[in-house]
Amino acid sequence: MSEDSYSFEYDEYGNTKKILIHKTGISIQGSNFTNKGSAFEVKERESLGIDGTLPPTPRSLKSQVANSLIKVESKPDDIERYIHILSLFNRNVTLAHALIRSDIEKFMSIIYTPTVGLAVQKYSTIFRRANGLHFYPGNIDKAEEILKRYVHQDIRVAVVTDNQGILGIGDQGAGGISICLGKLMLYTQGAGIAPWHCLPISLDVGTDNKELLESDEYLGWRHHRISGSEYVKFIQRFAKAFKSVFPNALCQWEDFSKQNAFAVRDAYLHDLISFNDDIQGTGSVTLAAILTAMKIKKEELKQQVFLVHGAGAGGIGIAEQIEVALVESGISLAEARKRIFTLDSGGVVSSDRKLEPYKAKFAKNPVEMPWLEDIDRNYLLEVVKNAKITVLIGTSGQAGCFTQEIVEAMCENTERPVVLPLSNPTSMTEALPTDIYKWTDGQALVATGSPFEPVEQNGKKIRIGQCNNVFVFPGVGLGVLACGTREVLPTFFTAAAHAVSEQVTKEEMKKGVLMPPVEKLNKVSKAVAVAVGLAAFKEGVSRPCAFSRFQHDNDEKKLKKLVNNMFWKPLYLPLVPVDKK
């Protein structure tokens, strides 16, 4: 169905009220935005010119979801379930999202981690239909023209990747766009941003993955990765085109390599409405777990000493967000940085080493830390002991590196150590929650990056909170759109962290749980959106929402009303035939 065959009509909050059909007939069933499958009502079939194209008895959306659940469960494994859901998404986007919403915890593990990693690797072999846009050196000069084809969808959020830093599997070439699509499905599920407002984008600058380059199946640009000034110019061309075509849309950078992640984020902080989820989303969700731990411990953030083991994009992003929160708590920037240690494969990140620029701000002066001088002692256990670490965070991907000796050493520094083994997948986690509880006699406060089954402690089942970025980025996106800000500030992510933490109930905190359950995703995302909007007002960067006629100001009730009413739900919209003029 061509772009001029339908259009959207919005209410005053910018939410889709109806879809206007400019060209009736069987093509309506060919667009995943307008197709309802077997759910077209009899009168609707007649008015839309599709009478006779479907069996006589319509199905309700509820019945369609039940039928789809049976089909999904019949698949032999999760990658086949992924393919089935993606195919459904490409036929009938409302039904696909209604299916996902029926059990968000289960289906999130299929459309996103961990299954999406396999989907990325198999992208070329399981390809059925294109989703989003692929820019490469052969078409980047036409980026503005290509983006304009999507204007009719009123794009509000784009997730953009250069495919190099896919979590746990690295450079995956063109397949990285599957991550973008999965994230955007979660924007829809978490923040109610309608799927026609979402655009996944791959910046295919080549791949250094030898297996892909040698594969006859590979669909990406068959060249080694461009770098240096050539890479910078490519990103600049894209950013200029994106800003020109979608000046009010949010651009989320995703899965760039470590240094490029920081360089690209920082280069466009003020030119685009953008952020990097691997850096800032990871930092925010980890801070949320730490803030909950502080409530349980009845201690202040500025009383803690932090160690981030793994100084990649995620690890430094966590350190950055802790730094922002510490400064907001009333201490100086210098004092905040003294309380944050980072550790990489070379040991403690220190100023006497040659460092990547993004690591330098947290480098320690070895003169001030005499225990760092002995290279044989410059490792995790010694840092925990000598720096008196109270909050230990793992982003290293080194399975089992948080040993019993290290965790027990933390107990010498604090009665209730905070231990956050965040590496994905479960096979790469720094320590198992059940072991951490055993080593600390249940006193540790634990959250993980991967999902874990509840742990039995003192006769009670304890849910393991998951530091999943999905608690942050959808709400940040919705909040940014609602408040009309032209830039995404670090304080937004601190506000988001507080909002996520506040969704953990007192009953759960009594059990030591640090994060809300995934089933509360909608509620959490709305709370984050409001918090981000209020932070924007406080910072003086808010302006009227470009997507809404609803008038709001620095009023929490009005902002909540806007956020609630901007929220799209997977229900079939009226399809209204109109004369095309």
Q: Are strands 418-421 and 391-394 parallel, antiparallel or unpaired?
A: parallel
Question: Residue ranges of the domains in the chain?
Answer: 102-256, 277-547
Q: Are 480 and 272 in contact (CB under 8 A)?
A: no
DSSP bridge partners of 157: 198, 250
Q: Are 221 and 204 in contact (CB under 8 A)?
A: yes
Question: Looking at residue 2, what is its pLDDT?
Answer: 55
Mean pLDDT of all residues in 25-47? 96
Question: Quick check: 205 pLDDT over 80?
Answer: yes
Question: Looking at residue 420, what is its pLDDT?
Answer: 98
Question: Looking at residue 504, what is its pLDDT?
Answer: 98
* Residue that wins the pLDDT comparison between 458 and 487: 487
Active-site residue, from 183, 258, 359, 526: 183
Question: Looking at residue 167, what is its pLDDT?
Answer: 74
Number of Cβ within a 10 Å radius of residue 232? 15
Question: Quick check: 247 pLDDT over 70?
Answer: yes
Tokens of 290: 């730490």
Question: Looking at residue 377, what is its pLDDT?
Answer: 67
pLDDT confidence bin for 580, thresholds 50/70/90: low
Whole-number Å distance between alpha carbons of 504 and 465 = 10
Question: What average pLDDT does the chain have?
Answer: 94
Q: Are 339 and 388 in contact (CB under 8 A)?
A: no
Tokens of 72: 């999904």
Which of 114-123, 389-398, 553-562 is predicted with the least confidence, judged by mean pLDDT? 553-562
Q: Are 22 and 578 in contact (CB under 8 A)?
A: yes
Whole-number Å distance between alpha carbons of 315 and 336 = 16
Vertex 235 angle, CA 230 and 236, to 5°? 95
pLDDT confidence bin for 575, thresholds 50/70/90: very high
Question: Looking at residue 3, what is its pLDDT?
Answer: 58
Domain 102-256, CATH 3.40.50.10380 — does that match? yes
Question: Looking at residue 457, what is its pLDDT?
Answer: 78
* Residue that wins the pLDDT comparison between 233 and 377: 233
Whole-number Å distance between alpha carbons of 388 and 390 = 6
Q: Is the peptide bond before 114 cis (omega within 30 degrees of 0)?
A: yes
Beta strand extents in 402-549 (DSSP E only): 418-421, 445-448, 455-457, 460-462, 465-466
Tell me whether residue 82 is one of the annotated catalytic residues: no
The tens digit of pLDDT for each residue in 505-525 reads: 999 999 999 999 999 999 999
Question: Quick check: 547 pLDDT over 80?
Answer: yes
* Residue that wins the pLDDT comparison between 227 and 553: 227
pLDDT confidence bin for 258, thresholds 50/70/90: confident
Tell me whether residue 112 is one of the annotated catalytic residues: yes
Tokens of 86: 């993606």
Chain-centroid distance, C-alpha 99:
20
Question: Looking at residue 150, what is its pLDDT?
Answer: 87
Mean pLDDT of all residues in 4-20? 93
Q: Are 487 and 539 in contact (CB under 8 A)?
A: no
Q: Are 564 and 526 in contact (CB under 8 A)?
A: yes
Whole-number Å distance between alpha carbons of 540 and 543 = 9
Which of 136-145, 160-169, 230-239, 466-475 is predicted with the least confidence, judged by mean pLDDT? 160-169
Nearest by Cα to 394 from 429, 437, 360 = 429
Question: Looking at residue 42, what is its pLDDT?
Answer: 95
Q: Identify the sign of the CA torsion 2, 90, 517, 433.
A: negative
Question: Quick check: 88 pLDDT over 50?
Answer: yes
On the question of a common fold for 102-256 and 277-547, the answer reads yes
pLDDT confidence bin for 581, thresholds 50/70/90: very low
Mean pLDDT of all residues in 61-72? 97
Tokens of 358: 């993004």
The tens digit of pLDDT for each residue in 157-182 reads: 999 999 998 877 889 999 999 999 99
The tens digit of pLDDT for each residue in 411-435 reads: 999 999 999 999 987 888 999 999 9
Active-site residue, from 82, 112, 123, 218: 112
- What's the predicted TM-score (pTM) here? 0.95
Question: Quick check: 24 pLDDT over 90?
Answer: yes
Question: Looking at residue 169, what is its pLDDT?
Answer: 83
Question: Quick check: 103 pLDDT over 50?
Answer: yes
What's the CATH number of domain 277-547, 1.10.10.10, 1.20.1440.230, 1.10.1240.10, 3.40.50.720?
3.40.50.720
Question: Quick check: 542 pLDDT over 50?
Answer: yes
* Residue that wins the pLDDT comparison between 210 and 368: 210
Query: Angle, nearest 10°, between helix axes 282-297 and 490-501?
Result: 50
The tens digit of pLDDT for each residue in 325-368 reads: 999 999 999 999 999 999 998 889 988 888 888 899 999 988 88
